[in-house]
Amino acid sequence: MESVEVFTSEGKGRGLKAQKEFLPGDVIFAEPAYAAVVFDSLTHVVCHTCFKRQERLHRCGQCKFAHYCDRTCQRAAWLNHKNECSAIKKHGKAPTENIRLAARIMWKIEREGSGLSEGCLVSIDDLQNHVDNFGEEEKKELHADVQSFLEFWPPQSQQFGMQYISHVFGVISCNGFTLSDQRGLQAVGVGIFPNLCQVNHDCWPNCTVIFNNGNHEAVRSMFHTQMRIELRALSKISPGDELSVSYVDFLNVSEERQKQLKKQYYFDCSCEHCKKQIKDDLMLAVKQGESKPSAETVKEVVQFSKDTLEKINKARIEGLYHEVVKMCRECLKKQEPVLGDTNIYLLRILSIASEVLSYLQMFEEAADYAKRMVDGYMKIYHPNNAQLGMAVMRAGVTHWHAGLIEAGHGLICKAYAILLITHGPSHPITKDLEVMRVQTEMELRMFQQNEFMYYKMREAALKNQKIQVMPEPSNETSPGLFHKKE
């Protein structure tokens, strides 16, 4: 942590600033979790140590609750799981994720004290809890969590006062970091990373945070890497510059982002992009020229889009994917004569349509929507945005599956360039993408030498190969930076 220092940021409280120069893709710091837990709904399909999704997991023989990839992950977890294991057995069942995370934090405090842990710039005691800003509903939830915690917490463990327990739950509420699976697409858990909590928000940040599940596959444990977050530079950072990350997805107009930040994190965003409403015009774009629609028509189409998105969410939850496609097509027919190519409501429908059509093996139509979505995203997002990189990667894979090898390879190369900066060369997603880049490059050479032969070989390969089903569309948006209890 010698490359950063804590300072008082004007109007923001504590923040972190760089002590040296960083270039795009540099790791500013990596930080293991102070404490972390798997979400309640995924405890049997996600490893409780590295947070990777696995088909077969080893179950803890004592509590029958915790699951692990293998004995290596199980041994690595024992220090944090030991007290939890005993408490779950005595309690009769595992409590909710919030209670489990609070308990893990307090068992660590019991072991190490509440002062600064090794490598931490701040202690748990010094983290913001925002309990004083809680509304009535949040206070009720806090009270219920404290009561549930007291029922679960063993009497032989160190006893904490009600105020301190409330502080820990407040810290979890506003500082809990979302942990994703190894594909980076699904949120699978929540953790506390004290150093990361010191990095302030900016809608157009100079850093990004990536969760790395670590690697325990090497035969010798000296080559193992632990689960951690990495703060990576997105642009050149000079000594003395404040470090910033975005707490919310940029794909929203400034007013909506400000509302979301106020509701979830209790502060008013005054970054340059919010103050000057930069890119809002693109996100609300309408068709220009002689056929420019009236304000009333735009309002009607936007409302229709919002209503359709709600219906789509319900249909996706029920797995009615053909119905989702039908609704997307109907919505696009209404949107296309009215909304501009970068309008966020058009982009949201294009994103859903391309994802669901890929799952249904309708790759050509999916590729068309994916290309339009990516063209819009490129004009809105920071060029090194991680979500942009993931979207470009998905579009590239869709084009590849559709047999559009030139466009597919181009998109995969673009995605690889972005993810090298946001995720780094050793991240599993980047490694997978490198394999795809090499494969598509080889296929592209074959295509350029003999187009007819390429398609013949592709057709023969597809006939002899079991159809590869794309991942089932998730109803979740991409994992946000910080986890907020619903």
Which token pair is 57?
A: 């997991």
Q: Sheet of 228-233: strands edge to edge?
A: 27-31, 228-233, 207-212
pLDDT over threshold 60, residue 6:
yes
- The pLDDT value recorded for residue 55 is 83
Cα–Cα distance for residue pair 195/216, rounded to 1 Å: 24
Q: Which residue has the higher pLDDT, 486 or 480?
A: 480
Q: Are 433 and 418 in contact (CB under 8 A)?
A: no
pLDDT tier for residue 22 given thresholds of 50, 70 and 90: very high
Q: Are 271 and 201 in contact (CB under 8 A)?
A: yes
pLDDT over threshold 80, residue 338:
yes
The per-residue pLDDT for range 130-178, each reduced to its tens digit, is: 888 888 999 999 999 999 999 999 999 989 999 999 999 999 988 889 8
Give the phi and the psi of residue 482 in degrees, each rounded to 5: -110, 140
The per-residue pLDDT for range 187-203, each reduced to its tens digit, is: 899 999 999 999 999 99
- The pLDDT value recorded for residue 453 is 84
Cross-strand bridge partners of residue 29? 231
Measured CA to CA in angstroms, residue 84 lies from 32, 76, 78 at distances of 19, 14, 10
Other CB atoms within 10 Å distance of the CB of residue 424? 17
Residue in the block written with tokens 């309008």: 343
pLDDT over threshold 60, residue 107:
yes
Cα–Cα distance for residue pair 212/230, rounded to 1 Å: 7
pLDDT over threshold 70, residue 486:
no
Measured CA to CA in angstroms, residue 453 lies from 60, 417, 437, 442, 459 at distances of 54, 30, 21, 14, 10
Phi-psi region of 43 (alpha: psi -120 to 50; beta: other; left: phi over 0): alpha
- The pLDDT value recorded for residue 218 is 45
Enumerate residues 6+ apart whose C-beta is below 8 A from 376.
Answer: 341, 342, 343, 346, 347, 350
Helix axes 136-152, 162-175, angle to 10 degrees: 120
For the entire predicted model, the pTM comes to 0.87
Q: Give the pLDDT mean for 318-331.
A: 95
Cα–Cα distance for residue pair 323/121, rounded to 1 Å: 51
- The pLDDT value recorded for residue 484 is 56
Cα–Cα distance for residue pair 316/304, rounded to 1 Å: 18
Q: Are 385 and 345 in contact (CB under 8 A)?
A: no
Question: What is the dihedral angle through the alpha carbons of 21, 246, 30, 185, rounded to the nearest 10 degrees?
Answer: -130
pLDDT tier for residue 18 given thresholds of 50, 70 and 90: very high
The per-residue pLDDT for range 365-406, each reduced to its tens digit, is: 999 999 999 999 999 999 999 999 999 999 999 999 999 999
The per-residue pLDDT for range 53-98, each reduced to its tens digit, is: 888 899 999 999 999 998 888 998 999 999 999 999 999 999 999 9
Tell me whether strands 200-201 and 244-245 are parallel, antiparallel or unpaired: parallel
CA-nearest of 279, 300, 414, 272 to 344 is 279
Lowest-pLDDT range, 138-142, 175-179, 262-266, 470-474? 470-474
